[in-house]
Amino acid sequence: MSAIGGTAARQHSRSDRLREYASTVELAAVPVATMGVLVRAREARAWTPQQPPEVVFAQTTVDDRALPAAVWVALRRDDVEGAVEAMTAASQTTFLVESREEMGEGYRLQTVEETRPLPEVELLLAQLAAMLDIPTDVLAILAEWGPQDPRTEREIADLLDRRLGAGVPVAAPETDPKPVGEGLTMSVADAVDVLRLTDEQARALATLVRRVPVTLTS
């Protein structure tokens, strides 16, 4: 094979490997997004530790390793791309793009490898499992289902119910709270000043107050 032909073949092989790398990273987004469902479900429930969950997550080690708090924060925000990027930045697992022989010092051939880091999904699952006291194989099954599977959200809710106990989810705020105390009474002039009404709006409010009793509620 000529030098030109060999170079073209290597370039073609490198392009194929780069496409394979991109596909591998894209596939990792599915289990990462599923763990985002878990993180947000946990965030929606009462949190008693003094340190915030992202700090506890970062301090939870698996074989002396841990993904950074940025991963939890990104999943909290439903930012799958950001989570994958943070995981990739902390990765110790690489993808071989190309291996080639180059002339080194002393005119000796040496092998040069081009690699790219891969997001370590298994570490994410193990770290979340250790932090939330959920079996890793259970999270692996959820990861296979994906975030769109209707079973995923139900199973996560059930897991957290059994882990944290019934009644732990934070109650939604009242939409129609009862009034406290005797309420607020003020003059038209005070209302105009507080609300910064225009002259036309002030005249309209004064006319309305003269005709009917006015009570302002939230």
Report the distance separating Cα 49 and Cα 193, nearest Å: 45
Decide if 110 contacts 104 (C-beta within 8 A).
yes
pLDDT per residue rounded down to tens, the chain (218 residues):
444 544 555 666 888 999 999 999 999 999 999 999 999 999 999 999 999 999 999 999 999 999 999 999 999 999 999 999 999 999 999 998 887 666 667 677 777 778 999 999 999 999 999 999 999 999 999 999 999 999 999 999 999 998 886 544 444 444 444 444 455 566 666 665 656 667 666 666 666 655 556 665 54
Instruction: List, in order, residues 6 or more apart from 108 with CB less than 8 Å away.
Output: none
DSSP string, 23-42: HHHHHHHHHHHHHHHHHHHH
Report the distance separating Cα 117 and Cα 159, nearest Å: 32
Integer distance in angstroms from the first to the last C-alpha of the chain? 81
